[in-house]
Every structure is written in structure tokens, then in C-alpha cells.
Amino acid sequence: MRILLDTSAYSALMTGNGAVADVVREADEIDLNAIVLGELLGGFARGSHRLKNERQLAEFVESPRVSVIDVDDDTAVRYSAIYDTLRSAGTPIPTNDIWIAASAMQYGLRLVTLDAHFTRVPQILTDLRK
């Protein structure tokens, strides 16, 4: 099983959320994308444990089960489809989250998240954890 962690799921994992830890433990491959990395690094920059959090993220990404997937023109095509679907339904979600969902769609990944608004994206499989 391959999964894509969104920002909320990575943060929950690092703070000991058992539900997220369970799905990560079961996964064959754990993916992140540049959007998630940017959100995490931006949050770290504003926090009081920046260096510790950056080291922890670097160690996580270096794991043989973790990959950083590309965001490219194929992702943009999927972004457009998701954006249009959500706007047409009157159920928009934050822009960065559309990019994260587009990555999940592109690579056929189950998105692990704590954010319920991802369940509005019919093009992806969402594993909502609390």
C-alpha cells in the first residue's frame, strides 16, 4: 500500500497520533510532495523548535520507505479537474490542498489526513484519521 501524507497527518504522526502511526506502519511506501514540505517548513520557521523539527523531517524523508513525489504539468492537469469539480459543486477547499489532492490522484495514492474537507474530492481515496 502506498500513501500520501498531508501536512496534518505528518504533524499528527510526529506528535504521537496512534491512528496515523498505524496506517504509516502498514504502508509499503510513504509519499510527500513539495506542497506538504513547504507547509511543514513554513510552520517550522514560525515555531520555537525549528531546527529540531527540520532535522526530524530530514530523517523521515531519508527513510527508504519515504519518497518525495514530483509536482509537474501532469499534476496541474489534475489540479484543474479537481478545482473545477469542487467549484461546480460549491465546495471549494484551500488551494494548497487541491495540489495535494492532485498529487494523490496522479500517483494513485491514498491520502492520509486529519482534514475532513479532502473527503469532498471525489477523484481521490481519503483515509481520514483523528
H helices within the chain, ranges in order? 7-14, 18-26, 34-46, 50-62, 73-89, 95-107
In this prediction, residue 128 carries a pLDDT of 92
pLDDT at 130 > cutoff 90: no
pLDDT per residue over 101-126, tens digit each?
A: 999 999 999 999 999 999 999 999 99
Instruction: Express as a percent the part of the chain with pLDDT over 70.
Output: 100
In this prediction, residue 58 carries a pLDDT of 98
For the chain, which domains are there?
2-128 (3.40.50.1010)
Quick check: 30 and 22 in contact, CB under 8 A? no
| Stretch 2-20: mean pLDDT | 97
> What is the per-residue burial (b if ≥16 Cβ within 10 Å, else e) of 87-126?
eeeeeebeeebbbbbbbbbbbebbbbbbbeebebbeebeb
The mean predicted confidence, pLDDT, of the chain is: 97
**Cell (9 digits) for 62:** 531519508
pLDDT per residue over 44-99, tens digit each?
A: 999 999 999 999 999 999 999 999 999 999 999 999 999 999 999 999 999 999 99
pLDDT at 129 > cutoff 90: no
User: Whole-prediction pTM value?
Assistant: 0.95
